[in-house]
Chain A
Amino acid sequence: MTAAVAMLALTAPIVSAGGADDDTLTINGDLEITTKAEAAPHLDGHLDEVISGWHFRSDETQALEMDDFDNPGMIFVDQAIDSWNTAEGSEDKSCADCHGDPEEMAGVKAVYPKWNEEAGEVRTLQMQVNDCRENRMGAEPWKYDAAAAINMEALLSSVSRGLPVNVAIDGPAADTWEKGKEIYYTRYGLLELSCANCHEQNYGNYIRADHLSQGQVNGFPTYRLKNAKLNGIHSRFKGCVRDTRAETFSPGSPEFVALELYVASRGNGLDVEGPSVRN
């Protein structure tokens, strides 16, 4: 072995140790995003610090998220603004007719998934939007994680950027949260891997060419360079479960709603960052 190769072999693990870099995320020069925070008490013994997936991406990918003109996800936010203002359904009403400007929704994304008292269930943002479409507009519901739905989620997320994720896990949401937690630690598929095996035990490590993050969802929807579109939380979950050579759950399924609540709660304290940019 040559000296140069030996050096490389020695330094490789040191360079990647810890994994997350020390960069800071500021969007459009003035919107500071909290991308590292003390872990919530419910993560005691599991994580000390929670870290946004942004820290595990290359400088080039990171830069795309720092200016709305560079962030390809913002094109879809613009499309959602049109949709926000378009009257639809038997009631011929738009989102704007009832909710005003999208900015009125600042803070909403940060607390979802959330318990809905009348429905007696935990709802994701997409479920809530569909409830308005079906029951208040008389319009067709959007398919889960389909373009129209994900674009609207990106708009609702964009107006909450810089506000801390603060998902409630107690009270009536507790049962769903427990169910999500159980899924998070279950070792699925022929590879018998849980979310925690990769995102809790191994974040910062490379798994083949991928730099493992904590698998946080504060950045969703994410624009991925890989498929050049906005990606939903449940679609990402589906991909990760599939990669364990398992039978997956479907976007919008009760399992993924519960898992979203649980994973979102692991990011309590991080700022909403979507639409983010990932590879």
Chain B
Amino acid sequence: MKLTGLTMAGLLVAGAAFANTVVPDEVSFGEYGAVEASLSGTEGNADKGREIFSTKSMGNCVSCHQVSQLSDVPFQGEVGPPLGGVGEYRSAAELRGIVANAKMTFEGTVMPAFYKTSGFIRPGDGYTGKAAKEPIEPILSAQDIEDVVAFLMTLKEN
């Protein structure tokens, strides 16, 4: 690849974003599971978060949660509670903690941890059924989590 000025700039931005990123093993959870500080240092994008929430290969949150505001997304699941009003009664810090690792808020919950890279039993490589390649990547990136949290904060009317 030829390094143009543009890709150089891109690399520099990525490097800068990475510098502010909190890696999964170093996320600091409060007593009740909330995470105060942004994981990426960059504000979340609610539109992007909406897509991550609804897309199978990304967060796939709709497999377990109904969201009345997402009437265009078919097949919303019922394993978790409906989230139509969650931005009303949860703070961004609480939501960040729940999405990063819901087990810190709800002990033993069925909800997967989306920002975690260690402590798994037989981790796999995506949906291939084969062993995971090291190092294990979290299911969602730091910025993905911030985007999802931004989206959840918009869920107010129910």
Contact = CB atoms under 8 A, between A and B. Distances in A.
A3 interface: no
A85 B75 CA distance: 47
Interface stretch (A72-80, A147-155, A160-168, A239-247): A239-247
B39 interface: no
A201 B111 CA distance: 12
Contact of A246 (B60, B68, B123, B157): B123
A33 to B, nearest CB: 28
A144 B68 CA distance: 45
B122 A205 contact: no
B123 A245 contact: yes
A12 interface: yes
B124 A205 contact: no
Which of B71, B77, B128: most chain A CB closer than 10 A? B77
A186 B121 contact: yes
Given A205-B79, A209-B75, A191 B112 contact: yes
A193 interface: yes
Contacts of A13: 78
Interface residues of B, number: 35
B89 interface: no
Interface string B61-100: 0111010100100111111001010000000000000000
Given A197-B110, A241-B129, A208 B123 contact: no
Given A5-B68, A191-B112, A241-B129, A248 B77 contact: no
Interface stretch (B2-10, B29-37, B41-49, B131-139): B131-139
24 contacts: A5-B71, A9-B66, A187-B121, A189-B123, A190-B112, A190-B123, A190-B124, A191-B139, A192-B121, A197-B110, A201-B110, A202-B79, A205-B78, A205-B79, A206-B77, A207-B64, A207-B78, A207-B79, A208-B60, A208-B62, A209-B75, A242-B128, A246-B123, A247-B122
Interface of A: 1, 5, 9, 12-13, 16, 186-193, 197, 201-202, 205-209, 212, 238, 241-248
Interface of B: 56, 60, 62-64, 66, 68, 71, 74-79, 82, 84, 110, 112-113, 120-132, 136, 139, 157
